């Protein structure tokens, strides 16, 4: 019987879904943050639950050859880069195993997964910095990242996966806040002004958008802040105040006020230019995004559809600012995109104009609710559907609509292997999994993006002939 605060010497037999080490004591799984498969470690039990427990490393008895020293002293506290202690090449193998394990649990069989496509330089890859601002235990202003499973802010002034210029700007904003006695948000009293600092950079263009989330009250000395930032960082093209007074985990509110510039920036992916606004979804790793999208486009047009691709209609569900649909547009007669965020759809329409495309249409609304309505408007049945849902995956209604629509191919892009595996299990009644390509969009974290090609299965419409819809 495991006991809290008891110490044990254990062997790590695997790495789990969040990258943590897994040991077993008397048949009970124990999850150990920072441990690597194959290591022998001494641990202390932190928490005992009915079916598993949590422990922490006291000492490493036998160290894995894949363990490496990290230059970040905060990674264990913040939990963002929870694989930072592991050599990068080996983290790719861990992520592949994560995907395989999720598929096995959901489908009850082994499914072939390609090797994860990694990065040549896995540092400073993020084009979006997002830091909460609040009070520490001594009621002093603090900026950084949330500690694991809490809203305690771990101070950070140089994150190794953030763009270096974005790091500098965030530090300058926080220094201005402190020097000018601008109040910061208190989650207990729901008072104070500054809640979050968000900085986006167009990696190809160099343009920078700063968004400061405030608690529904105007940021004091806003023009002084503008002058201060522009003098130090001339690549800043726009500064926006976003108002959010709601007591939720949602970071951005619905209302923006532009205090400098025009409220947006531009970036380039592949051959295409994109407008990015504060509320727009835009992938955080542009280098890997191009690989991911090009993989999706290859899946959508290879083999049997090559000859007829120009006459084929495609759907882009959860389209954001239209990135995938715009990437795909040259290969299809028409592309229709749906996204719930209205500002993102406005950006998608403008992005189509910017890139001289006249074969795209974008609609604002909840995919689950308006997809049937959009399908009634489409003259030709879509033969290819791209889906890139949030972490929760596809809604059951959307899955049923897709199964009824029976496009020849579904290209499923997912940031969550667990919900991806669940949805593939629901779709396999009508679809075969042809290829799964993981892409490391988030180096040193336990997250991995996957691009999956689904083919419509063989079907019969007569007792004599049975053929593939492709």
| Helices 222-232 + 164-179 axis angle, to 10 | 140
* Confidence (pLDDT) at 210: 98
- The confidence band for 144, taking pLDDT boundaries of 50, 70 and 90, is very high
pLDDT at 406 over 70: yes
* Confidence (pLDDT) at 80: 80
- The confidence band for 467, taking pLDDT boundaries of 50, 70 and 90, is very low
Q: What number does CATH give the domain 281-468?
A: 3.40.50.150
Task: Check if 7-67 and 281-468 are the same fold.
Answer: no
pLDDT at 388 over 90: yes
- The confidence band for 72, taking pLDDT boundaries of 50, 70 and 90, is confident
- CA neighbours within 13 Å on the CB side: how many for 368? 8
Share above pLDDT 70 across residues of the chain, in percent, rounded to a whole number: 96
- The confidence band for 469, taking pLDDT boundaries of 50, 70 and 90, is very low
pLDDT tens-place string over residues 303-312: 655 444 567 8
Q: Is 248 helix (H, G, I), strand (E, B) or coil?
A: coil
pLDDT tens-place string over residues 243-260: 999 988 899 998 999 999
Whether 383 contacts 427, CB under 8 Å = no
pLDDT at 464 over 70: no
Pairing, β 53-62 against β 28-32: parallel
**How many other CB atoms are there within 10 angstroms of residue 455's CB atom?**
20
Whether 394 contacts 368, CB under 8 Å = no
Domain layout of the chain by residue ranges: 7-67, 128-272, 281-468
* Confidence (pLDDT) at 194: 96
The pair of structure tokens assigned to 303 is: 């083999």
Q: What mean pLDDT is reported for the chain?
A: 91
pLDDT at 460 over 50: no
**How many other CB atoms are there within 10 angstroms of residue 134's CB atom?**
21
DSSP 44-102: EEEEE-SS-EEEEEEEEEE--TTB---S-SSHHHH-TTTTTTB-HHHHHHHHHHHHHHH
Pairing, β 313-317 against β 334-339: parallel
Whether 88 contacts 118, CB under 8 Å = yes
Of residues 272 and 18, more confidently modeled: 272
81 is catalytic: no
* Confidence (pLDDT) at 124: 95
pLDDT at 225 over 70: yes
pTM value is: 0.90
CATH class of this structure's domain 128-272: mainly beta
Helix, strand, coil in percent for the chain, rounding step 5: 25, 30, 40
Place of tokens 């861990």: 94
- Give the integer Cα–Cα distance in Å for 63 and 68: 10
- The confidence band for 216, taking pLDDT boundaries of 50, 70 and 90, is confident
Q: What are phi and psi of 16, to 5 degrees?
A: -85, -175
For the domain made up of 7-67, give the CATH fold: OB fold (Dihydrolipoamide Acetyltransferase, E2P) (2.40.50)
Whether 46 contacts 4, CB under 8 Å = yes
- Give the integer Cα–Cα distance in Å for 458 and 452: 19
pLDDT at 470 over 80: no
Return the H-helix or E-strand segment holding 57. Answer: strand 53-62
The CA radius of gyration of the chain, in Å to the nearest whole number, is: 24
Say which of 159, 415, 450, 451 is annotated catalytic: 415
Contacts of 119 (CB under 8 A, 6+ apart): 125, 285, 287, 288, 440, 443
- Give the integer Cα–Cα distance in Å for 28 and 23: 8
């Amino acid at each position: 019987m495991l006991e809290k605060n008891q110490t044990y010497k254990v062997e790590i037999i695997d790495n789990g879904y969040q990258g943590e080490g897994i040991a077993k004591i008397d048949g009970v799984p124990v999850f150990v943050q920072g441990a690597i498969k194959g290591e022998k470690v001494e641990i202390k039990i932190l928490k005992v639950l009915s079916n598993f427990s949590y422990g922490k490393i006291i000492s490493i008895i036998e160290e894995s050859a894949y363990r490496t020293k990290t230059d970040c002293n905060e990674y264990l506290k913040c939990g963002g880069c929870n694989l930072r202690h592991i050599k990068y090449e080996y983290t790719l193998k861990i992520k592949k195993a994560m995907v395989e394990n999720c598929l096995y649990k959901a489908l009850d069989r082994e499914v072939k997964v390609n090797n994860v496509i990694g990065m040549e330089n896995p540092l400073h890859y993020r084009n979006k910095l997002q830091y909460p601002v609040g009070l520490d235990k001594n009621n002093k202003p603090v900026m950084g990242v949330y500690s694991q499973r809490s809203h305690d802010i771990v101070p950070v002034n140089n994150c190794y996966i953030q763009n270096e210029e974005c790091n500098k700007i965030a530090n300058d904003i926080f220094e201005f806040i402190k020097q000018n006695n601008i109040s910061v948000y208190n989650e207990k009293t729901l008072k104070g002004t500054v809640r979050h600092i968000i900085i986006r950079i167009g990696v190809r263009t160099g343009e920078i958008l700063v968004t400061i989330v405030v608690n529904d009250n105007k940021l004091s000395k806003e023009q002084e802040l503008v002058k201060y930032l522009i003098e130090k960082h001339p690549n800043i093209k726009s500064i926006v105040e976003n108002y959010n007074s709601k007591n939720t985990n949602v970071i951005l509110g619905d209302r923006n006020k532009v205090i400098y510039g025009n409220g947006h920036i531009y970036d380039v992916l592949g051959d295409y230019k994109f407008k990015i606004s504060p509320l727009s979804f835009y992938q955080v790793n542009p280098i890997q995004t191009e690989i991911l999208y090009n993989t999706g486009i290859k899946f959508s047009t290879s083999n049997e559809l090559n000859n007829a691709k120009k006459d084929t209609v495609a759907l882009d569900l959860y389209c954001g600012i239209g990135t995938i649909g715009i990437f795909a547009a040259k290969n299809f007669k028409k592309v229709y995109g749906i996204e719930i965020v209205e500002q993102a759809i406005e950006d998608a329409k403008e992005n189509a104009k910017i890139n001289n495309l006249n074969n795209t249409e974008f609609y604002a609304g909840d995919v689950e609710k308006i997809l049937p309505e959009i399908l009634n408007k489409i003259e030709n049945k879509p033969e290819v559907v791209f889906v890139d849902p949030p972490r929760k995956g596809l809604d059951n209604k959307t899955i049923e609509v897709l199964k009824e629509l029976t496009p020849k191919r579904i290209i499923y892009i997912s940031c969550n292997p667990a919900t991806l595996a669940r949805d593939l299990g629901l779709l396999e009644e009508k679809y075969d999994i042809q290829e799964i390509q993981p892409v490391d969009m988030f180096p040193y974290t336990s997250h991995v993006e996957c691009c999956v090609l689904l083919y419509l299965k063989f079907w019969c419409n007569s007792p004599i002939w049975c053929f593939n819809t492709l």
